[in-house]
Chain A
């Protein structure tokens, strides 16, 4: 589904991502982990087509993002870390607009919008102006926007950021429902969330892939049988810190 080859990204002189190569199969849920500022959001922005990589290539469903950008963007749904909306539009109006932009057939737009309103629990606020919505509802709206074109690939950047535990739980339940139908790449700094939702874990550190695999594979690779993801992650980051210190 996703194939990334030698992907690098520079912001000016500063290298954010360094020669990343990995593959994600169809139907998989992969959690993107790593300390703050390690390039998780940058990677998702590149995959979504918002940012261009400095070098390397990226294929989604066999299509090169550089040469078939429009076709690739039709197949994906993206929830950015900070979702921005038009506050003067109502929830339904916004989703209809987004569905039209994402080239959902005109006669199916309303049906699709009703589907995502139900799926994301937005029925209660469907006629409200976006500017009046709470943080939790805005996050759901961002998710509904990502889903309205029935994408094959979902890119979720910190989907529970700033939500209270109840809202987090609701989003977790929603993502669990979605993972049956979509390939998902979820960026998170919450390890419990990652364990709960993902099949495999891609751990980034200093712009490079530090580890990639299922929990069992990570336990085997780092000689920590039966360890939790949190323990493995702590060990990796501590080891990396001591390596760079020495």
Chain B
């Protein structure tokens, strides 16, 4: 556990050593700031049935930002270690493959969480400045941020897998972006399937990012979506571990 902590600490701090981490923090702050501004502007036009939390989280803009940011966040996780040769030092230290994969994932995930901290302040300061609550209840906050973290964990696990497969950060980023894009537009593909296909029977509101976020940001928390995203995260972590070990065997 202590070893995972040291690896995790190094992974986490590495974002701040390079311009990538600071750039991502600035970019996300800008994007969320702009998103919050447009959400407030939208609600200013007149009475609306949606809360500011729902308007902020349940929009295409935020989902696309997530799609673009997570590949950038994860591309260097292992690809950079392979490219620079520091993987040799990692693999000759008394560390298990599982410890390496888990620490890489946790480092990226914590940084992902940090990226969204500034957005919390928008909602905190919304009430005193607008004299209105940002959401009807705490469930909407928990739902929206919870879903954001679940989606983030899944996207990071996909990005980690892509980073394990190659020694080139850009290839890793492109691969994870394409995969996530395919998943993101999965709802469209399901409509193309024959009506009797078992996949077409999937309740789309449970799995696909835009639909699930719509429910969660209203405070409608469905455990089936949570189980789905957690399962997918573990599945891709397992795939990352398997590919990492396979690369060792093939050397």
Closest A-chain residue to B90, C-beta based? A101
- Among listed B80-88, B134-142, B151-159, interface-contacting one: B80-88
A84 vs B88: C-alpha distance when bound (angstroms): 8
Are the C-beta atoms of A106 and B2 separated by less than 8 Å?
Answer: yes
* A55, chain B: closest CB distance, angstroms: 13
Are the C-beta atoms of B85 and A82 separated by less than 8 Å?
Answer: yes
Are the C-beta atoms of B84 and A84 separated by less than 8 Å?
Answer: yes
Q: Which of A50, A86, A103 contacts B86 (CB 8 A)?
A: A86
A74 vs B3: C-alpha distance when bound (angstroms): 13
Query: Which residue numbers of A lie inside 8 Å of B, CB to CB?
Result: 45, 48-52, 70-71, 73-74, 76, 78, 80, 82, 84-86, 88-89, 97-98, 100-103, 106, 145
Residues of A contacting B192 in the complex (Cβ-Cβ under 8 angstroms): none
A49 vs B92: C-alpha distance when bound (angstroms): 6
Are the C-beta atoms of B10 and A78 separated by less than 8 Å?
Answer: no
Are the C-beta atoms of A49 and B91 separated by less than 8 Å?
Answer: yes
Main secondary structure of the interface of B (DSSP, over half): helix
Closest B-chain residue to A73, C-beta based? B94
Closest A-chain residue to B251, C-beta based? A51
> Are A84 and B89 CB-contacts (below 8 A) given A70-B94, A102-B94, A103-B94?
yes
A85 vs B248: C-alpha distance when bound (angstroms): 20
Are the C-beta atoms of B14 and A86 separated by less than 8 Å?
Answer: yes
Closest A-chain residue to B95, C-beta based? A101
A48 vs B92: C-alpha distance when bound (angstroms): 6
Residues of A contacting B17 in the complex (Cβ-Cβ under 8 angstroms): 86, 88-89
What are 6 contact pairs spanning A and B, CB under 8 A?
Answer: A49-B91, A52-B248, A76-B92, A84-B89, A101-B6, A101-B90
Are the C-beta atoms of B251 and A73 separated by less than 8 Å?
Answer: no
> Are A80 and B14 CB-contacts (below 8 A) given A73-B93, A100-B6?
no
A102 vs B93: C-alpha distance when bound (angstroms): 6
Are the C-beta atoms of B86 and A85 separated by less than 8 Å?
Answer: yes
Are the C-beta atoms of B94 and A97 separated by less than 8 Å?
Answer: no
> Are A98 and B89 CB-contacts (below 8 A) given A84-B84, A106-B2?
yes
- Residues of B70-117 contacting chain A, CB below 8 A: 84-86, 88-96
Q: Which of B6, B18, B89, B251 contacts A145 (CB 8 A)?
A: B89
* A133, chain B: closest CB distance, angstroms: 15
B121 at the interface (CB under 8 A from A): no
Closest A-chain residue to B248, C-beta based? A52
A73 vs B94: C-alpha distance when bound (angstroms): 5
Closest A-chain residue to B83, C-beta based? A84
Residues of B contacting A51 in the complex (Cβ-Cβ under 8 angstroms): 251
* A44, chain B: closest CB distance, angstroms: 10
Residues of B contacting A89 in the complex (Cβ-Cβ under 8 angstroms): 17
Interface centre among A45, A71, A82, A100 (most CB of B within 10 A): A100
